[in-house]
């Protein structure tokens, strides 16, 4: 049946004869309305950009929320992903040949976008790089005690960022396939958020200022004679041992000291056991102390890695010696930063380490809650921030 006018339609309906349904919707070149199950005249078709499948829904709030807004989100996130990619490449976090849909870019987008309204996300993305963050970070490294780098970011940007396993363990550009000697946890995130870059030497470059970063339990030695380190450990009762002997010399350890260091100094012992030798500052500091006398006066037991047992005392001195040697072998950085999984970090100027005696270094580190512990691989010592 055909209709000549809307008036005819109205009269037909008024007479109770009903109005025939209009022809079903036809989706051009995408199948018939029957194939898509379209029965209502106000259904709207939409092709999902992710699944590439057609979706048909009534023109309702549900359609607006689930389809229209979602498609806008895809479009908006694309511009954010491009901005993140561009900034990440400059920061040395993302490889230039990675797409904006790469795992890294998506992870950083999800991290930044979490719990943020769209207008705030847009502002933050546009603010990169924010040079104010770099100044606050460097100033905090010079301050007494430790600080939290997430708090610096949040105070500057008005955000609530915090630790996230995915982005914390992300490696800088070009280091995904490396294992030993590669970047430590947090380095890529710090470079991205603080607008730095991953330098050829060191861990972080903030506008020309090099920072050597050590995540908790990071190695402090380089080219260490591991046999000497293992020998040192064998001289003492394990700290986990029972009774009052934990951290003191074993019988064999005492015999070794008496046989090998009679007439020698504590600087001789520390130089041998460090596996890297000893510098003039520590020779001067310990050369007037007889090794056998020192052990007679300091053979103490104590449980735990923070106690003052003989073993712990020497670990801190030897750890400081190894750190100085490491810094003298690694060039082109001005600061050391030791940080933990919560984002707490304590820093020192390079010269404060390289120009000081081991005992002074230990005192400086302890004042900021940093201490040394032996590595389980017996290849040196680690540095940890409480």
Cβ atoms of 247 and 352 closer than 8 Å? no
Q: Is residue 26 over pLDDT 80?
A: no
Neighbours of 131 (CB within 10 A): 11
Cβ atoms of 312 and 302 closer than 8 Å? yes
Cβ atoms of 214 and 202 closer than 8 Å? no
Residue 291 to residue 310: CA distance in whole angstroms: 13
Q: Is residue 376 over pLDDT 80?
A: no
Question: What's residue 181's pLDDT?
Answer: 44
**What average pLDDT score do residues 194-219 get?**
79
Residue 313 to residue 306: CA distance in whole angstroms: 9
Q: Mean pLDDT check: name the lowest of 37-41, 230-234, 296-300.
A: 37-41
Q: Is residue 250 over pLDDT 50?
A: yes
3 state SS of 53:
coil
Q: What is the pLDDT of residues 171-192, one digit of tens each?
A: 887 766 554 444 456 788 888 8
Instruction: State what percent of residues in the chain have pLDDT above 90.
Output: 33
> Dihedral, CA atoms, 186, 190, 193, 199, nearest 10 degrees?
-130
Residue 123 to residue 128: CA distance in whole angstroms: 9
**What average pLDDT score do residues 335-360 get?**
93
pLDDT category at 306 given cuts 50, 70, 90 is: low
Question: What's residue 41's pLDDT?
Answer: 47
Segment holding 87, helix H or strand E: helix 69-90
**What average pLDDT score do residues 338-348 get?**
92
Domain boundaries, the chain: 6-56, 66-194, 226-385
How distant is the alpha carbon of residue 204 from its chain centre?
12
**What average pLDDT score do residues 219-229 get?**
87
Question: What's residue 79's pLDDT?
Answer: 82
Q: Is residue 76 over pLDDT 70?
A: no
Q: Is residue 124 over pLDDT 60?
A: yes
Q: Is residue 80 over pLDDT 70?
A: yes
Q: Mean pLDDT check: name the lowest of 148-152, 350-354, 379-383.
A: 379-383
Q: Give the DSSP per-residue string, 206-261.
A: ETTEEEEEEETTEE--SS--HHHHHHHHHTB--TT-STT-TTSBPHHHHHHHHHH-
Question: What's residue 267's pLDDT?
Answer: 97
Q: Is residue 33 over pLDDT 70?
A: no
Segment holding 326, helix H or strand E: helix 310-329
Q: Is residue 283 over pLDDT 90?
A: yes
Question: What's residue 67's pLDDT?
Answer: 47
| Residue 263 or residue 5, greater confidence | 263
User: Residue holding tokens 């780098």?
Assistant: 149
pLDDT category at 15 given cuts 50, 70, 90 is: low
Mean pLDDT of the chain: 79
Question: What's residue 17's pLDDT?
Answer: 58
Q: Give the DSSP per-residue string, 356-382.
A: S-HHHHHHHHHHTTEEEEE-TTSSSEE
CA atoms within 13 A on the CB side of 352: 15
Would you give the DSSP letter of residue 8? H
Neighbours of 327 (CB within 10 A): 18
Label residue 284 exposed, middle or buried (CB < 10 Å: 0-12, 13-18, 19+). exposed
Would you give the DSSP letter of residue 64? I
Q: What is the pLDDT of residues 39-67, one digit of tens each?
A: 554 566 656 666 767 766 655 555 445 54
């Amino acid at each position: 049946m055909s209709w000549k006018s809307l008036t005819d339609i109205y009269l037909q309906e008024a007479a109770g004869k009903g109005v025939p349904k209009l022809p079903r919707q036809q989706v051009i070149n995408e199948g018939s309305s029957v194939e898509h199950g379209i029965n209502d005249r106000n259904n709207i078709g939409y092709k999902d950009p992710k699944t590439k499948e057609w979706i048909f829904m009534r023109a309702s709030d549900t359609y607006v929320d689930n389809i229209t807004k979602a498609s806008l989100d895809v479009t908006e996130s694309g511009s954010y992903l491009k901005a993140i990619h561009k900034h990440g490449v400059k920061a040395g976090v993302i490889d230039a040949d990675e797409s904006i849909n790469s795992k890294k870019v998506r992870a950083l987008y999800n991290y930044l976008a979490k719990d943020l309204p769209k207008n705030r996300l847009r502002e933050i993305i546009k603010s990169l790089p924010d040079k104010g963050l770099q100044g606050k970070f460097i100033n905090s490294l010079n301050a007494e005690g430790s600080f939290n780098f997430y708090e610096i970011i949040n105070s500057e940007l008005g955000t609530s960022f915090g630790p996230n396993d995915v982005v914390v363990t992300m490696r800088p550009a070009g280091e995904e396939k490396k294992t030993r000697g590669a970047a430590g946890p947090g380095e890529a995130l710090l470079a991205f958020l603080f607008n730095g870059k991953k330098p050829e030497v060191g861990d972080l470059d903030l506008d020309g200022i090099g920072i050597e970063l050590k995540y908790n339990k990071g190695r402090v030695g380089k080219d260490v004679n591991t046999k000497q380190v293992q020998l040192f450990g064998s001289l003492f009762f394990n700290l986990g041992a029972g009774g009052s002997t934990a951290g003191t010399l074993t019988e064999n350890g005492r015999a070794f000291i008496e046989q090998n260091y009679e007439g020698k100094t504590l600087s001789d012992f520390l130089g041998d056991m460090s596996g890297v030798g000893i510098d003039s500052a520590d020779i001067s500091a310990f050369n007037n102390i007889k090794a056998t006398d020192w052990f007679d006066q300091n053979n103490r037991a104590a449980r735990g890695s923070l106690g003052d047992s003989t073993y712990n005392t020497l670990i801190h001195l030897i750890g400081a010696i190894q750190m100085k040697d490491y810094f003298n072998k690694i060039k082109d950085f001005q600061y050391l930063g030791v940080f933990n999984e919560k984002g707490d970090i304590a820093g020192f100027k390079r010269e404060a380490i390289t120009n000081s005696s081991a005992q002074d270094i230990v005192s400086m580190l302890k004042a900021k809650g940093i201490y040394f512990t032996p590595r389980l691989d017996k290849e040196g010592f680690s540095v940890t921030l409480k």
